[in-house]
Amino acid sequence: MELIAIRSKEGLNIETKLNELKEKLSEVYDLEGVIALLDWDQSTYMPTGGGAARGRQIAVLEKLVHEKMTDPTLGKLLDELSPLESELPYDSDEAGLIRVARRKFEKASKVPAAFIAEFANHTAETFHVWTEARPADDFSKVAPYLEKTLEYSRQMAEFFPGYEHIADPLIDFSDPGLRTSELKTLFTDLREELVPLVKAVTDREPADDTCLTRSYPQEKQWSFGLDVIKQLGYDFERGRQDKTHHPFMTKFSLGDVRITTRLKERDLGEGLFSTIHEAGHAMYEQGITEGYEGTPLAEGASSGVHESQSRLWENIVGRSRAFWEYFYPRLQRTFPDQLKDVSLDTFHRAVNKVQPSLIRTEADELTYNLHVMIRFDLELALLEGKLAVEDLPEAWRERYRQDLGVVPPDDRDGVLQDVHWYIGTIGGAFQGYTLGNILSAQFYEAALAAHPEIPDQIRRGEFNGLRGWLTEHLYRHGAKYTADELTRRATGSPLSIDPYIRYLKHKFTQLYLEE
């Protein structure tokens, strides 16, 4: 980060203090990178016997991070630098660094270090138990841990008194500034638009997706997926892909941004779209200004903005007709026996099949947000004390019956399917997925307004145009701006469901409703 010229008689002292601030923040940044490395190992290659020790290790480091982030000398530095903000342009890197660091310091200072360590140890243990409970379809095994997670989640919220709803502080960790009441209104408005569209589409004959469930050797799926994301722009000089239970992206530094995926021999879409999804997250991180390394600016603006990039690349690009006009001939060459009798039209409809289903990560674009809303409502009920953990599996099944017309046959594909409640708090995670869907269309619409040639570029397998616009307007800024500021700067408007609804109606009218 280059320091701008500061006209002040204390200029040298200010520059010194800014460098001191960055040194302190860099220690936190590097420790967080080590924690991410331990988490990644736990989710990929760690033997099962290492679970208990890994929990202790992460707890020690989380406590150390918290102590450094709440160090009184850091607070004193921020107090001394705060008046500088009025002398600097709001969009300068220095002003942004002071703003973001102060927010993190103030938030961290409200939570005791002992609680951070205790909760980190608990979540590491819970994740380990979940990896055994899900394949065994044994919710009872992890339920006591989830009870404790609920207690910790409520305690976490209580460290931030004055909230409207107990979920507000938890949501603020992932999507700063958003409240439960705002999300309820947003979800209600979105639901009113989605439900009639879902009904209109599902009343028609569903697309034939049997071509996706033929036998696809995993090693070939793996190679094809890597080729796709390399062409999209994922930099393998600064990343790699591995296998895991639940796909994720993690960052150890701006030079080491990793992704994971999972493959099924008889589900071509599972691995491919998970790979594209996580690569979308990773390209965001890889696009952050290199000078932000070592500071809290070197991360995404919010969960919603981050998810907008995974969903944009996975769905708006990866499931588009233009994308497959380029990639489908290559896919047919990779799997000639499986796809020789499948036309491009058939394949395109298959990867855009709309049908209520059990698994969120495998859900189509139209029904996906209904999965998110179910989880959001259930975690609010848990936090409010209206729903007990022991009753969660049945509540889950009933909501799926009501909202999607399907009922999980077991807990493995029901309440145990998502890892989120088993690695963090209950509350604050799932809303980001729907926010991401909404923002993905809003950002893409703005990119098309600036560069109408993007779809034609995609048809030719050229992705630099879209990625370049995203890098300029989103990626490079990291966390310097809030999600609202970033959205307004990039699109000229605040968060709106309108572009998303336009996108969905246009796409699925063409696929299903036009005669």
Annotated binding residues for Zn(2+), written as ranges, equal 277, 281, 307
Q: How far apart are CA 88 and CA 478, in angstroms?
A: 19
Q: How far apart are CA 486 and CA 497, in angstroms?
A: 16
Q: How far apart are CA 341 and CA 58, in angstroms?
A: 51
SS3 string of 85-133?
HHHCCCCCHHHHHHHHHHHHHHHHHCCCHHHHHHHHHHHHHHHHHHHHH
CB-based contacts of 423: which residues, under 8 Å, 6+ apart?
123, 126, 127, 130
Structure tokens at 221: 């799926």
Degrees, nearest 5: CA angle 194-428-190: 15
Structure tokens at 298: 């070197």
Asked if residues 287 and 471 have their Cβ atoms less than 8 Å apart, the reply is: yes
Catalytic residue from among 32, 62, 278, 285: 278
The amino acid at residue 232 is L
The helix (run of H) or strand (run of E) holding residue 67 is helix 51-69
CB-based contacts of 508: which residues, under 8 Å, 6+ apart?
197, 201, 352, 354, 365, 366
Q: What is the DSSP secondary structure assignment for residue 313, as one 8-state letter? A: I
Structure tokens at 338: 């499986």
Longest CA–CA span in the chain (Å) reads 76
Structure tokens at 446: 């703005």
Distance of CA 468 to the CA centre of its chain: 21
Q: What is the DSSP secondary structure assignment for residue 69, as one 8-state letter? A: H
CB-based contacts of 312: which residues, under 8 Å, 6+ apart?
280, 440, 443, 444, 470
Active site residue 278: yes
Binding-site positions: 277, 281, 307
Q: How many CA atoms lie within 13 A of 127 on its CB side?
A: 27
250 in helix, strand or coil?
Answer: strand
CB-based contacts of 427: which residues, under 8 Å, 6+ apart?
153, 157, 166, 167, 170, 171, 379, 380, 382, 383
Asked if residues 494 and 482 have their Cβ atoms less than 8 Å apart, the reply is: no
413 in helix, strand or coil?
Answer: coil
User: So which residues are the catalytic ones?
Assistant: 278
